[in-house]
Structure 1
Amino acid sequence: MMTIKRVGILGAGKVGIVLAGLALDAGYTVRISGSGDVKKIALTIKMLVPGAIATENTDVIANSDIIILAIPLSRYQNIPAALLKGKLVIDAMNYWWETDGIREEVLAPDTTSSEQVQAYFNTSTLVKTFNHMGYHNLQEEAHAAGDPKRKALFVTGDEHTAVNEVAQFVDTLGFDQVVHYQLADGIMTEPGSPLFGASLSYTDLKDVIDHFDQTEFGKKIATAKKI
């Protein structure tokens, strides 16, 4: 299992900034990039997450052990797939109509968003997490292991070792983990699902997942896409 020391975040919006802060607090070296010139985000990064390194995508990717995609889902194809070759990648994205526009122009109707992101970054290993909890909750509800107020995040992907590595990373950022080993299960965190927006303890989150009728929800989502 690899040892994560350097965290790279593509996306300097609200989620990216919060995750950068959590990673810094956990002792990681953090690089973060935004859209356009580095000078556009450097002052923001200096003020909001002092210690994080504002830089270009290529530098973030080249000098990080793990990459977090924290950009609007509609823009992931703006990143050349080859840049992430061989990288462990966290998909922290979800489709959101206010930022991404018409769903059918962003996503095909027959698979989940993370499956499509993985298909595009086909030489990377993708794990989905940080998707269902709002950025305010992520920022305010991180707690040390054993704290009764600690919340949990859903972590899923197809590659067991990568999922376990990301789960350990999530633990260091202050959250318990409910782990699955099927990337398609990421549909449970997409908008419209019972988990979207959830900020729950491990027991409560696992209970929701255990009672989650993925097949039925999948049918509803598929029907909704066709309307």
Structure 2
Amino acid sequence: MTETIGIIGSGLSGSGLARLAVAAGYRVVLSNSRGPATISGLVEELGPLARAATVEEAIAAGDLVAIPLPLANVEALPADRLAGKVVIDQTNYYPAAGAFRRADLDNAELTSSELVQRHLRESKVVKAFHNLDWHHLSHNARPRGHAERTTLPVAGDDADAKERVARFVAAVGYDVVDAGSLADSWRVEPNTPIYFWPYAPVIPAGLTEDEEKKYYLEHSGAPLSPEAARKLIDGAERPSPVGGTLEGLPPAHVAIFLDLARAGTFQR
């Protein structure tokens, strides 16, 4: 039986995950805070396996439910409706990028995914698809056995839920490495070795800014084997201060991000 992926958030990360899922033969139910009518163009582009819905409908339909959202938006999610669901946590903590800041995150008392699990207390939260940008999320996917297939981490407290998400990650184009529990997920958060940089290309010297952005979008990072990914995770040191910064990301990505922000592309 074909699984359905419910997605709460239809911005760049949500639409990227939807493209991956549809390409792999999954049904997708997309939602956002602005209503199904605002996703009609994206759903038409995705084809017959995708449909637009309300947040509540996407949750009800989803065998897995993904939340490609700003971390600040998690508290608005209906925890009661998500009870019993396996939730794919794509959030990241970027305190410098907005008004959302928490002392317990800053002091490393818990990880961002533990914060998500605290709100979604009756759900099974699994961290995945969070550590590369929306473009390379779909651009880097490769079929099983392909020489350029790369590896993504997953982390979670429920073994069965983590295995279900790992199967989904593998089906849409990536090898998988287990990064441990939600308490361990700091090892795959911003400013750790497996975050963003392994999946982005090395930009040749001497290019203009526009050429760098074009090269970034047209190329991938070198394939990362599960063994190499494991070494990056095991060798991580907990970042201090906690949280991502634009300075910690590939410059070409930041330039593209700022272009899109100025154009008002970041709709959730």
- Shared topology, TM-score over 0.5? yes
Secondary structure of 2:43's counterpart equals: helix
The corresponding residue for 2:162 is 163
Q: How far apart are the structure 2 equivalents of 1:210 and 1:153?
A: 14
Deviation at 1:69, TM superposition (A): 0.7
Deviating more after overlay: 104-113 vs 131-140: 104-113
Which of 54, 57, 72 does residue 55 from structure 2 map onto? 57
Structure 1: stretches of 5+ with no match in the other structure: none
8 Å contact from structure 1 (residues 100, 106) kept in 2: no
Match of 1:68 in 2: 66
Structure 1 residue 189: Cα displacement:
2.2
What is the TM-score of this pair, normalised by structure 2? 0.75
Shift of 1:124: 0.4
- Matches of 1:105 and 1:41 in 2, distance apart? 36
User: In terms of mean alpha carbon deviation, does 10-19 or 133-142 score higher?
Assistant: 133-142
Distance in 2 between residues matched to 1:137 and 1:43, nearest whole Å: 22
2:126, 2:26 → 1: CA distance? 19
Deviates more, 1:95-104 or 1:189-198: 95-104
Residue 180 of structure 1: aligned partner: 179
> Where does residue 201 of structure 1 map in the other structure?
224
Q: Which has the larger radius of gyration?
A: 2
Q: Which runs of 5+ in 2 are unaligned?
A: 200-222, 245-268
What is the correspondence of 1:28-177 to structure 2 with a 5 Å cutoff? 28-47=26-45, 49-51=46-48, 52-97=50-95, 100-104=98-102, 107=105, 109=107, 110-177=109-176
Moved over 4 A (4+): 97-100, 105-108
When normalised by structure 1's length, the TM-score is 0.87
The amino acid of 1:19's aligned partner reads L
In the alignment of these two chains, the number of paired residues is: 217
Offset, 1:223: 11
CA contact under 8 A between 1:45 and 1:54: conserved in structure 2? yes
RMSD: 2.3
1:192 & 1:117 partners in 2: Cα distance? 20
Checking the alignment, whether the CA contact within 8 Å between 1:160 and 1:181 is kept in structure 2 is: no
